Amino acid sequence: MRMYDLIKKKRDGGSLTKGEIDFIVEGFTSGQIPDYQMAALAMAIYFRGMDREETLNLTLAMAASGDMLDLSGVPGIKVDKHSTGGVADTTTLVLAPLVASCGVPVAKLSGRGLGHTGGTVDKLEAVPGFRAEISTEEFITNLKRYGIAVAAQSAEITPADRKLYALRDVTATVDSIPLIASSVMSKKIAAGADAIVLDVKVGRGAFMKDLAAARELARAMVDIGAAAGRATVAYITGMDQPLGLAIGNGLEMAEAIQVLKGSGSRDLVALCLELGSVMLVLGGRAKDKEEARQRLEDALYGGAALEKFRELIIAQGGDGRVVDDPSLLPRARYQEAWVAEGDVYLAFLPADKLGEIAMKLGAGREKKGDPIDPAVGIVLGGKVGDLIRKGQPVATVFANDREKLKQALAELKGCIVLSPDPVTPPPLVLEEIRG
Ligand code: URA
Ligand code: CA
């Protein structure tokens, strides 16, 4: 088999066989197939697409390219959750302990943030002492003992995807649905969970800018999950505006704690209850979504979810006192609010712009490996449709540099739109897609 012939086959619109895809993934992972040939193939796939079988075979080959976690020794149906990435998306921090406190083991390998979207691992590392880089052994031990483990994905898992994603990133071939679907699902399959709940974000702050594309991606991932024997459900949720109110790692951690204490952003709570109810049903802990929702609300408002979160933090070396006292989280030197000059409604909160402003404050990475500042970011005064009373903050900036603070405030004023008239809030959960 020659890589040249396989590139040509795909370029001309052919379908690659399982044997051909295995050859490509193995050769690329080991270094026998050079980057320039793989880049050409990625571009051919970008234009020609891949059918269901090819997408499945690519996923399985990438999943098998490195270590695969064996969670069979952990009792219960293990459920994983994945978001395609958004702004102020603190869902995992709330959902993982919430669902675990209801008896479903949550095994979550997570990435670091890139660009204007944050990563769960970065948010957890805002807690003093928290270790996200734990070994597979520790991950499984914690999962058995506490029913929850959240760790940074190691380099030994799906090396083929890691290499291919880096290549796609610099060759304008990221936004291809079969390549995204196989990339995400290869990691989920290698991570070993029995069931998977996907949150596919759509809107200006997300990968997928329109509903049709989001639906296609969700369908592709649900099909892969089903074919790979992992019950998979996908939700399509809005990401034109940030999900929660806080953007920035320590600030988002504080917001997650607030939600786990039974208050906090309405949309964040609503999404956690929706995704969580499916996780409980898939995990065999509730017969239907209604029963699941009741159990989740009991855990959220009764304090069990918060205690599970404390357990997670302590189990991975973090200071569990942050749960009672969020002021132990890193604090920015400067803080300034943009205050409403009269009663106004929030009309437009562009997630992409707000994510970029937070990134420039130091909350995110422009490129892989950049350091981040856990203390800085933005806290919004509300979500689209909310009324901000005169003298109340539209948004507050947290910074460690006065110039950056001034810049951020000016940019916020340039992109957030206020209205004297009531504004209808956009829907949050748009669709549910099942196998
Ligand atoms: N996230 C991934 O993990 N892979 C992609 O290809 C795109 C987003
Ligand atoms: Ca994420």
Ligand 1 contact via 183 beta carbon (within 6 Å): yes
Query: Beta partners for 231?
Result: 195
Q: Residue 42 Cα, ligand 1 centroid: separation in angstroms?
A: 14
Yes or no: say if 427 and 236 are a contact pair by the CB < 8 Å rule.
Answer: no
pLDDT given for residue 369 in this prediction: 79
* CATH assignment of the domain containing 28: 1.20.970.10
Instruction: Determine the structural domain holding residue 12 and report its residue range.
Output: 3-63
Q: Residue 168 Cα, ligand 2 centroid: separation in angstroms?
A: 19
User: Is residue 69 assigned to a domain?
Assistant: no
Is the pLDDT assigned to residue 190 strictly greater than 80?
yes
pLDDT given for residue 264 in this prediction: 83
User: Is residue 126 assigned to a domain?
Assistant: yes
- Calculate mean pLDDT across residues 427-432: 97
Number of domains in the chain: 3
Is the pLDDT assigned to residue 146 strictly greater than 80?
yes
Q: Is the dihedral of CA 83, 89, 94, 97 positive or negative?
A: positive
Q: Residue 59 Cα, ligand 1 centroid: separation in angstroms?
A: 12
| Interval 283-321: pLDDT, tens | 999 999 999 999 999 999 999 999 999 999 999 999 999
- 51 by Cβ neighbours in 10 Å (0-12 / 13-18 / 19+) ranks as exposed
Is the pLDDT assigned to residue 113 strictly greater than 80?
no
Alpha-carbon torsion, ordered 48, 54, 60, 66, to 10 deg: -40
Same-domain pairing of 270 and 131: yes
pLDDT given for residue 365 in this prediction: 85
Residue with the smallest CA separation from ligand 1 atom 5 is 180
Q: Name the DSSP letter for residue 328.
A: G
| Interval 207-266: pLDDT, tens | 899 999 999 999 999 999 999 999 999 999 999 999 999 999 999 999 999 999 999 889
Q: For the chain, give the mean pLDDT.
A: 96
Same-domain pairing of 316 and 340: no
Residues with CB under 5 A from ligand 2 (ion): 83
User: Is residue 319 assigned to a domain?
Assistant: yes
What phi-psi label fits residue 115: left (phi over 0), alpha (psi between -120 and 50 degrees) or beta? left
| Interval 54-108: pLDDT, tens | 999 999 999 999 999 999 999 999 999 999 989 999 999 999 999 999 999 999 9
Ligand 1 contact via 348 beta carbon (within 6 Å): no
Q: Residue 341 Cα, ligand 1 centroid: separation in angstroms?
A: 42
- From 59, 112, 183, mutation site for ligand 1 pocket: most ligand atoms within 8 A of C-beta: 183
- Calculate mean pLDDT across residues 342-356: 97
Ligand 1 contact via 258 beta carbon (within 6 Å): no
- Calculate mean pLDDT across residues 154-168: 93
Residues involved in catalysis: 82, 161, 168, 183, 187
Same-domain pairing of 306 and 343: no
Burial 7-27 (b: 16+ CB within 10 A, else e): bebbeeeeebeeebbbbbbeb
Which ligand ends up closest to the CA of 220?
Answer: 1
CA–CA distances in Å: residue 61 to residues 20, 27, 39, 297: 11, 11, 18, 40
| Interval 382-429: pLDDT, tens | 999 999 999 999 999 999 999 999 999 999 999 999 999 999 999 999
Which ligand ends up closest to the CA of 89?
Answer: 2
Count Cβ atoms below 10 Å from residue 32 Cβ, excluding itself. 10
d(CA 151, CA 109): 5
Q: Is the dihedral of CA 378, 379, 385, 387 positive or negative?
A: negative
